[in-house]
Chain A
Amino acid sequence: MIRLITIAGFVLCGVLALALELMARRDTDRIAPLSELLDQVMVSRAVRLTIMVFWWWLGWHFIVAAPAPAAS
């Protein structure tokens, strides 16, 4: 049961992100779409570097870095 709640939390985040983007596309005057937001913020080097480092790390984490052995 607790496992399901944990998984549901992650699913909820995905659903919220999807809903946010759909809402933005339906009414761009209220909420800017993600692409427009990124166009504004990615002009800054600090934002570019931060976002791209997180993007790169996702690849590193899931493809290269082997998980630590489970605690006993």
Chain B
Amino acid sequence: MSEKVGTPVGARLRTNAAWIGILALTSGFQFFRGAPMDGMVFGVAAALLIGDVFGLLSFVRIPSPRPRRWVSIAAGVVLTLLLTFLPRYSIADGIILVAIGLTLMPFVWADPPARMQEESTEQQDATTDATRVAIRRAALLWSAVGVLLCLWELGSFFLAMPSPAAEFRHPPLSDLIDPIMNNPFGRLACVALWLLAGVGLLRRGREQK
């Protein structure tokens, strides 16, 4: 899965085109819905991937950071409390979210250590055809659920546009989650879940069983 340094541009483009497309499409939609800041975030991510495909960012060599477990736990607890008890939509919340994004960037950009990549390649070599089929099937089914959710949200968004009455009939997901987020206990649970999901996602592909 990981692109080796010597992989030709064409092959890298073929591998990454779908992901660049998803980010670019999302960026365009965010601009359309009047959220330019959100659009810029997805746009910058797409641009970074394009730069990576063409080798324009090959000078950026980030070693995979390995934070101590207690630092991650302490940071998680502090961030959960701050994001729960600071006023929602405040500038402080914005600064914290930007700081989280920037702090995690090296973790996201850095490829897994060479040892793990070798293990991953060995694992892929040892993977049976049945396992490959099971993984492909899982990828297709999860993509289908994801696309269904996106289409339903998109449909609600457009149907809700004409008036507040239409918005009541076709509430987007954010309207449904808002009451939970406006309750301190609900927000605590959502923030903790969001942070845990982020940590869990970052560990994937790096810590092989």
Contact = CB atoms under 8 A, between A and B. Distances in A.
Secondary structure of the B side of the interface?
Answer: helix
Contact of B174 (A34, A42, A48, A62): A62
Contact of B145 (A17, A35, A39): A17
Interface residues of A, number: 55
Given A57-B41, A63-B191, A3 B145 contact: no
A39 B2 contact: no
A46 B104 CA distance: 15
B81 interface: no
B197 interface: yes
B204 A67 contact: no
A36 B209 CA distance: 10
A59 B194 contact: yes
Interface in A7-48: 7, 9-10, 13, 16-17, 20, 24, 28-48
B16 A71 contact: no
Contact of A52 (B22, B94, B104, B173): B104
Given A29-B131, A53-B41, 16 more contacts: A10-B153, A10-B173, A16-B145, A28-B134, A31-B138, A32-B135, A40-B124, A43-B1, A43-B2, A46-B19, A46-B52, A49-B109, A50-B22, A56-B41, A58-B194, A72-B163
Interface of B: 1-3, 15-16, 19-20, 22-23, 26, 34-35, 37-38, 41-42, 45, 48-49, 52, 83, 88-89, 93-94, 97, 100-101, 104, 108-109, 111-112, 117, 120, 124, 130-131, 134-135, 137-139, 141-142, 145, 148-149, 152-153, 156, 161-164, 167-171, 173-178, 181, 190-191, 194, 197-198, 201-202, 204-206, 208
